[in-house]
Amino acid sequence: MQQVQHQMMGYDRASTMFSPDGRLLQVEYAKKTVRQGSSAIGVVCKDGAVLVADKRVVEKLILPHSVEKIFQVDDHIAATPTGLVMDGRVLIERAQVIAQQHRVTYDDNIDILSLVKEISDIKQAHTQYGGVRPFGVSLLIVGVNDTSHLYMTDPTGIYFEYKATAIGEFEQEIKNILEKSYKETMNMDAGIKLGVGALKTVLGKEFSMDRVDAIRIPRATKKFERLTTEDLKKYNL
């Protein structure tokens, strides 16, 4: 009832306007948008890092291979958006530019945390200034510098580092699976198997390997590797 009252009084008309109880309603709406997005899972493994995401192909005439849910940011970094994917694409393209500028300037791979901070700063700025709306997207960003890393950034601009986590419509259900099954000693094959198995569990009869997009970044090579549908079939539990 209080939320409706705040809407009637116009506290949700701008991302810069606080409601009387100290909330930014536009930012809360952005978070709700993320919870309606397709699921994505990140796992840090002893030999690298992996991302597994649901492409959610909603039309039968769409070619599944044309739907890209996980994007390469640099040789050693990948990211996947959940929520308004077009918002995520803009942020990821910005991340690609930042990574390339760093490589040209310093002749070295960008530190993953530095990149995450810059993208989070952009998100936070869109909750602070008039004339813009918050980005309706959360990002999972994985990469390998000296060790493997997984970060999550949400629409507020906050970020956390995880061993394994999920975002999207089945976030809590998948997190429950990860909390029970994740082990720090698992390798990338086990991490991908865990991610695919979690998607299969939450999607049920709607699950199909054509819906799965997955990548891995081995610590040995620090190189982005996309898995094909044929590669993924061995993980179909």
Which tens digit of pLDDT belongs to each residue from 139-168? Answer: 999 999 989 999 999 999 999 999 999 999
CATH of the domain spanning 38-235, picked from 3.40.1440.10, 3.30.70.20, 3.80.10.10, 3.60.20.10? 3.60.20.10
Average pLDDT, the chain: 91
Read off the pTM: 0.92
Which tens digit of pLDDT belongs to each residue from 164-205? Answer: 999 999 999 999 999 999 999 999 999 999 999 999 999 999
Taking 80 as the threshold, does the pLDDT of residue 235 lie above it? no
Taking 80 as the threshold, does the pLDDT of residue 2 lie above it? no
Query: What share of the chain has pLDDT > 90, as a percent?
Result: 75
- Compute the average pLDDT of residues 105-121: 96
CA atoms within 13 A on the CB side of 115: 34
Taking 50 as the threshold, does the pLDDT of residue 33 lie above it? yes
pLDDT bin (cut points 50, 70, 90) of residue 7 is: low
Q: What pLDDT score does 8 carry? A: 47
Q: What pLDDT score does 5 carry? A: 58
Q: Are 210 and 79 in contact (CB under 8 A)?
A: no
76-97 CB burial, b ≥16 within 10 A, e <16: bbbbbbbbbbebbeebbeebbe
Between 19-33, 68-82, 208-222, the lowest mean confidence (pLDDT) is in 19-33
